[in-house]
Amino acid sequence: MCAEFQDSDQTMDSQTSFVMPAVPQVIPLPHVFAALGSLLLLYAVNVLVRAALTRRKLPPGPPGLPVLGNIWDVKGKAWLQYSAWARQYGPIFSLNMAGTPIIVLNTHKVAANLLDRRSTIYSDRTQSVMAGEILTGGVFLVFTPYGELWRRMRRASHEEFSFTACKKYQPVQTREAYALVSDLLADPRDWREHLMRSAASSILSALYGWDRLKPDDHLVHRIHEHTGRIASSVLPGRFMVEYLPFLKHIPSWTGLVPWKVWGETWHKRDTAMFEEFVDSTTANAQKGDPNAAKSFVAGLVENQERHGLSKKHMAWLAGNMFGAGAETTAGQLIIFVLAMILHPEVQARAQAEIDAVVGRDRAPTFADRDRLPYIRACVRETLRWRTVGPLGVPRATSQDDWYEGYYIPKGAVVLENIWAMNSDPNVFPDYNNFRPERFLDESGQNEIAPPDTHNMGHVTYGFGRRICAGYNFANQSLFIDLACLLWAFNFRKAKDERGQEITPDPDDMRDGGLVVTPPTFPCEITPRHPDVASVIERERMHMV
């Protein structure tokens, strides 16, 4: 286990998965007002000229204000507003955000045609000064611009998380799934916290070869604080520098940019933390620790020269895999629990399949995967029904392009409206129902998927060269977790003090920046049979 870091000046409630850090803002000074006014005037003129030249050629979209365009039209839960506009303006529409064109893609066909088949044009990232440059130093894969460094990091992550390579992580994922069952047996009331910790522990064990993290482990909070800072930094309006990028060039020592000092300080601390994790994992692997030797980081270090990555690159690449995977996997597990209490008929059918294949004398394993088609379909439907990343991460076009008569200029921001695609009534007529069998053929044994969904049935992992690098790992985790949870427990609606069932709202999603999840809701979780505890304990002992 790596040394803990005690330099954090933030705390996080154990019930909270998202940290909104307090950040000092830009200090306005009177002597810069005149220069700032001139810059804003020039900016406004540039906006008007660009809008006049391109607006008629862009895809259709809602009208906006002069200069500002649609900047005030999108507020909270943007994916819902975008989906409403998609119904009005079609599969591709555009917005004007103060002179910057936003192109929103809303169907599988359009997204696949552009993001998959023209990936060389649509694989760049938009400028993110705080998240992409200051907090993460330009080496966080999610925000890294499309180029040589991104290709090296992407190649390394794909090699370690390919479909075949991911099989080496199955023992860790099974261990975590069994531990999750034990945690829920001991304390079902804190089920949400158990899901979050299990997801984090699973991916950290795969990345660094660590033993399972304990509930009070300071390291869990430390890393969640890191992901919380990044997630909060991409919220619209959080930092003025995103709208006025020239502010980033003001030296930190002037005292005029405390937000920059804050970001640079945390970048140094997080770099030190992640590099220490690499050093610790390398040392453990050299000592013969089998978990460390099979870890993601050990593979990076072993192939460092071939991948062309520095120690800092490897450290941040591993950190990226945690940041991109832990919150999203935990969110999808929470969504699965929501689906089970709202659709008891699905739960009953899934449990019948598990009982027929696995029985009650042992817990599910990956060896059962081929014989559990309905459970595999449950994984797909969980990812489709309520996706935790409804808009993905914004992209930028690297050159001018035309699509079906519409002009898409170089530097345009491109959003993949995953929420709209996963709930497209033309593809999923009953999209609001949780119905896993939609992904099975008439025999109920073979998986099927709509066109342009990468044979997954959904597009939650994205498109093209920016598709989620860890989707094989995520699919494995969700399969074994769902199988074990359904084998062990019944999930039902909780009751209030009057004995009335409490029905959560399936459309209530909490916006956390890049990741959205349902707010906390009560749930009754009970063992399916009296031998669950003894069986799972025996299975865990055999894995030691």
Helix (H) / strand (E) containing 382: helix 373-385
Contact 277, 284 (CB under 8 A): no
Beta pairing partners, 517: 510
Beta pairing partners, 501: 495
DSSP SS3 for 346: helix
At residue 345, φ and ψ (nearest 5 deg) are -65, -35
Q: What is the CA radius of gyration of the chain?
A: 24
Please tell me the distance from the alpha carbon of residue 176 to that of residue 213, in angstroms, as a whole number.
10
Contact 320, 277 (CB under 8 A): no
Q: Which amino acid is at 433?
A: N
Residues shown for the chain? 544
Structure tokens at 8: 């954090």
Helix (H) / strand (E) containing 307: helix 304-307
- Dihedral, 435, 441, 443, 445 alpha carbons, nearest 10: -80
Angle (CA) 522 75 240, round 5°: 115
Helix (H) / strand (E) containing 493: strand 489-493
Annotated binding-site residue? 468: yes
Please tell me the distance from the alpha carbon of residue 192 to that of residue 14, in angstroms, as a whole number.
11
Residues contributing to the annotated binding site for heme: 468
Residues contributing to the annotated binding site: 468
